[in-house]
């Protein structure tokens, strides 16, 4: 498909206005044309830095849209776009990927010289879809791959992993954010325009610029909230939607975090008790987990992590040990938690070290504060849409009542940073459920404590043509964890019929036997 067709569409649009001019007067026509010249989204081709495998093709563009659509002659926002081309001539509607975060940057590599598409395994992950559809990846306004970028790190030093691991106190973090916020003010960047509704309109503008009357959307994590907002604001644009790790606008991820974490562990304890091997090896799994976290709170576990920028010593206290266990759940490794905790109690830290390295390499937070705190887009959206609606007193009460399961919520510094970031709260109407008839497949993992299955069920209640599938052994973002989930997504994009029989099973419980064998054979 030729994505420079918009020039022809614009030509016909202008031709129709020429006819209008003869009827309504030249002055009126020129006024309309002048306004439309600024308001119309533009797509400009740019050189690709990606290196596709033999036989695959990618095209790269920049989407140019107004920062403030009510001021179309003001600042432009430039968004990177990658089109992974179909194997054959694309005639079917493309699938547009909406990333998570907020603040994820799928088109930006994590290290200098790397290929972001190769890092994300995009060519293999989308191979079935691309048999006859293009896959389009759009960067988020304000994030990596966009101009302006709201990242609070100096662009000259933010590339190396070390730059995001500088040991800073909470007061230093506050100073960094204060300077960053002041710098954005000096650049006259309007943070009120870096919101989920604005991102949703970017998707619609992308479709306009690419001359696409209909699109398919695939959102993961925060990308599902982004997708739902597209469905709300542009109901006729979306042919089919797949939401993986559902985060609807009517739920608040921070309000009930301790209870969500506790429920995920309760499910693990139940599954272990129902499995003969796990029950035999870990008859008191709950006690083991809780005592291990409490012991780490008294005497932190000392690890030396092998990271890309060299070895790093870290001490895991109770909250950080809980973070690693939650990371295992999120990555679909809940079945290994019993063996990991048992090994920790024997002072064997090999399994724990493996997952701690994975967590720190991908998200950070073990050496010091999570780097997301310095992501301006993350702060803009989360402070506006989440923290502004949190009942702080009720949250503190729940944390205090949750024991070890409330430790990560208790140590969160986000509540202290939102006053520094100074964004207006989202209007209540944005927190209303999205009601739509768009065919929608919702996917959840039982052990997803970030976007739990209850949120998928809640979103599905308001989507009249939807199906919600829960993967019993998986965590957050099931398409990359379970081949069955990938098959469901691909089949649904091809034929969006929610009532069709599933081609594979999602209800397989955690495999504690396989986890035990992995732990036993660890080098």
pLDDT at 74: 92
As a whole number of angstroms, the distance between CA 441 and CA 230 comes to: 15
Alpha-helix residue ranges (DSSP H) falling in 194-256:
196-209, 222-233
Q: Which residues pair with 185 in a beta bridge?
A: none
Nearest to 371 by CA among 161, 142, 100: 161
Q: Are 379 and 194 in contact (CB under 8 A)?
A: no
Alpha-helix residue ranges (DSSP H) falling in 149-243:
170-186, 196-209, 222-233
| 37 contact partners, CB below 8 Å, separation of at least 6 | none
pLDDT at 309: 76
Nearest to 373 by CA among 415, 314, 312, 319: 415
Residue ranges per domain, the chain? 152-188+253-425
3-state secondary structure of 45: strand
User: Maximum Cα–Cα distance for the chain, whole Å?
Assistant: 86
pLDDT at 413: 75
Rounded (10°) CA dihedral 251, 141, 69, 13: -110
As a whole number of angstroms, the distance between CA 173 and CA 164 comes to: 12
As a whole number of angstroms, the distance between CA 206 and CA 33 comes to: 21
pLDDT at 5: 39
As a whole number of angstroms, the distance between CA 57 and CA 279 comes to: 51
Q: To which residue do tokens 């909406």 refer? A: 98
Output the DSSP codes for 94-130: PEEEE--TTT--TTS-SSTT--HHHHTTHHHHTTTGG
Q: Are 263 and 292 in contact (CB under 8 A)?
A: no
Stated pTM of the model:
0.90
Nearest to 482 by CA among 363, 326, 331: 331
Report residue 264: phi and psi, to 5°.
Answer: -60, -40
Q: Are 434 and 235 in contact (CB under 8 A)?
A: no
| 49 contact partners, CB below 8 Å, separation of at least 6 | 60, 115
For the chain, 523 residues long, the average pLDDT of each consecutive 10-residue run is 44 33 38 48 96 95 97 94 89 94 92 89 96 96 94 54 55 86 94 98 98 98 99 98 98 94 98 98 98 97 89 93 98 98 97 95 73 78 94 94 94 84 96 98 98 98 98 97 97 94 92 97 88
pLDDT at 27: 40
pLDDT at 2: 57
Tokens linked to 240: 């089919």
């Amino acid at each position: 498909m030729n994505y420079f067709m918009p020039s022809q569409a614009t030509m016909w649009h202008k031709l129709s206005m020429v006819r209008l001019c003869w009827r309504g007067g030249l002055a009126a026509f020129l006024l309309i044309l002048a306004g439309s010249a600024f308001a119309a989204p533009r797509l400009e081709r740019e050189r690709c830095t990606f290196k596709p495998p033999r036989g695959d093709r990618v095209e790269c563009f920049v989407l140019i849209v107004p920062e403030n659509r009510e001021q179309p002659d003001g600042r432009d926002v430039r968004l990177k776009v990658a089109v992974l081309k179909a194997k054959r001539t694309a005639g079917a509607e493309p699938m547009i990927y909406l990333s998570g975060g907020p603040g994820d940057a799928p088109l930006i590599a994590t290290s200098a010289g790397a290929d972001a598409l190769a890092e994300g395994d995009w060519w293999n992950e989308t191979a079935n879809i691309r048999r006859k559809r293009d896959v389009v990846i759009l960067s988020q306004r304000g994030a990596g791959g966009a101009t302006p970028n709201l990242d609070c790190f100096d662009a000259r030093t933010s590339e190396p992993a070390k730059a995001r691991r500088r040991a800073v106190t909470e007061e230093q973090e506050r100073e960094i954010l204060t300077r960053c916020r002041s710098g954005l003010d000096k650049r006259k960047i309007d943070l009120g325009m870096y919101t989920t509704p604005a991102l949703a309109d970017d998707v619609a503008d992308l479709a306009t610029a690419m001359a696409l009357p209909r699109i398919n959307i695939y959102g993961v994590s925060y990308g599902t909230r982004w997708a739902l907002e597209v469905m709300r604001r542009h109901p006729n644009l979306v042919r089919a939607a797949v939401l993986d790790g559902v985060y609807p606008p009517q739920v608040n991820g921070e309000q009930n975090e301790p209870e969500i974490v506790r429920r995920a562990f309760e499910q693990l304890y139940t599954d272990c008790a129902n499995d003969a091997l796990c029950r035999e090896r870990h008859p008191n799994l709950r006690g083991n987990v809780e005592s291990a976290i409490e012991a780490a709170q008294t005497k932190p576990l000392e690890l030396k992590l092998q990271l890309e920028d060299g070895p790093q010593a870290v001490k895991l206290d109770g909250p950080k040990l809980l973070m690693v266990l939650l990371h295992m759940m999120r990555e679909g490794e809940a079945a290994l938690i019993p063996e990991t905790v048992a090994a920790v109690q024997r002072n064997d830290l090999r399994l724990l070290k493996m997952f701690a390295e994975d967590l720190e390499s991908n998200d950070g937070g073990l050496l010091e504060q999570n780097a997301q705190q310095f992501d301006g887009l993350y702060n803009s959206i989360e402070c506006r849409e989440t923290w502004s609606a949190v009942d702080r007193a009720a949250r503190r009460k729940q944390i205090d009542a949750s024991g070890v399961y409330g430790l990560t919520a208790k140590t969160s510094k986000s509540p202290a940073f939102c006053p520094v970031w100074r964004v207006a709260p989202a209007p209540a109407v944005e927190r209303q459920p999205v009601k739509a008839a768009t065919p929608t497949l919702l996917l959840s993992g039982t052990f997803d404590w970030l976007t739990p299955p209850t949120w998928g069920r809640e979103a599905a209640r308001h989507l009249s043509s939807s199906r919600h599938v829960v993967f019993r052994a998986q965590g957050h973002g099931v398409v990359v964890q379970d081949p069955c989930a990938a098959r469901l997504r691909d089949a649904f994009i091809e034929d969006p019929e929610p009532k069709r029989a599933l081609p594979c099973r999602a209800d397989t419980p955690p495999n504690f036997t396989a986890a035990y064998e992995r732990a036993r054979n660890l080098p």
